[in-house]
């Protein structure tokens, strides 16, 4: 804002196809799984949305629930093993 003026810049919004949205949501899951190696991961609304989006592409929900619980677990061995296994199950469930 300059001298009481508000300047609005308009950029055309790019539309993403289902495949690209799936890949971006999987990238968020991968990021959280990688962070889970270091310690418990804060379960954000953005990650919840990515998991919900991906769950709509799958027949079974358990990999998503397992991943959600695993990334916040304080037991290091359980967190690492379960987060990786659930991430792999999510990728299989959505056709990766």
CA distance 25 to 1: 35
Domain range for 45 is 18-93
List residues bridging with 2 in a β-sheet: 5
Q: What is the pLDDT, as a whole number, of residue 71?
A: 97
SS3 16: coil
CA distance 41 to 37: 9
Please state the domain count of the chain: 1
pLDDT category, 38, cuts 50, 70, 90? very high
Q: Has residue 38 been placed in a domain?
A: yes
Q: Has residue 32 been placed in a domain?
A: yes
pLDDT digits 0-9 by tens, 45-87: 999 999 999 999 999 999 999 999 999 999 999 999 999 999 9
């Amino acid at each position: 804002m300059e001298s009481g003026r508000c300047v609005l810049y308009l950029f055309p919004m790019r539309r993403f196809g289902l495949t690209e949205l799936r890949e971006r949501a999987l990238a968020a899951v991968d990021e959280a799984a990688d962070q889970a190696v270091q310690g418990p991961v804060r379960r954000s609304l953005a990650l919840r949305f990515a998991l919900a989006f991906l769950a709509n592409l799958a027949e079974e929900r358990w990999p998503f629930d397992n991943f959600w619980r695993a990334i916040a677990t304080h037991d290091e061995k359980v967190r690492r093993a379960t987060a990786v296994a659930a991430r792999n199950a999510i990728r299989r469930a959505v056709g990766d």
